[in-house]
Amino acid sequence: MEHNEENESNDSNINQRFNRKLATMNYMEAMGNLSMDDYVRIYGELPSHTVLKGMTQEFIKSYHTLGVDSLHLVDGYGLDWMDALITYNEEVEEYELCAMFRDLIIEYENAAIEYIGGFG
């Protein structure tokens, strides 16, 4: 009987983690669809450090763990949010992340130039 209770507890923990992950994914999807201007219009202020920290963590997880294409991530977040992430990470002295974000933005901009140049 103890084994069944342990399995139920493990299942419950897995379900809780899944629900938190799903909520986070939905949150990040919604945030990614808002420009910075829209965010300020809706919430009346710039995103808090908590919001930017969560976005940073989700970006890194998507990029490194899930293997989401970097160009797709930058495009999905938008350059205004990427700049906000750089500013936040400079403030908390996460300079390696700042460099990574800047490199991804440069890669994104170069890809856009090459794409547009293909029509010339």
Per-residue pLDDT tens digits for 72-112: 889 888 999 999 999 999 999 999 999 999 999 999 999 88
pLDDT of amino acid 24: 47
pLDDT at 81: 94
Residue of 62, 64, 88, 66 lying closest to 75 (CA atoms):
62
Report the pLDDT value the prediction gives residue 18, as an integer from 0 to 100: 53
Give the tens place of pLDDT for each residue, 8-65.
665 666 655 555 554 545 555 555 578 889 989 999 999 999 999 999 998 998 888 7
φ, ψ of residue 118 to 5 degrees: the values are -70, -15
> Which amino acid makes up residue 111?
A
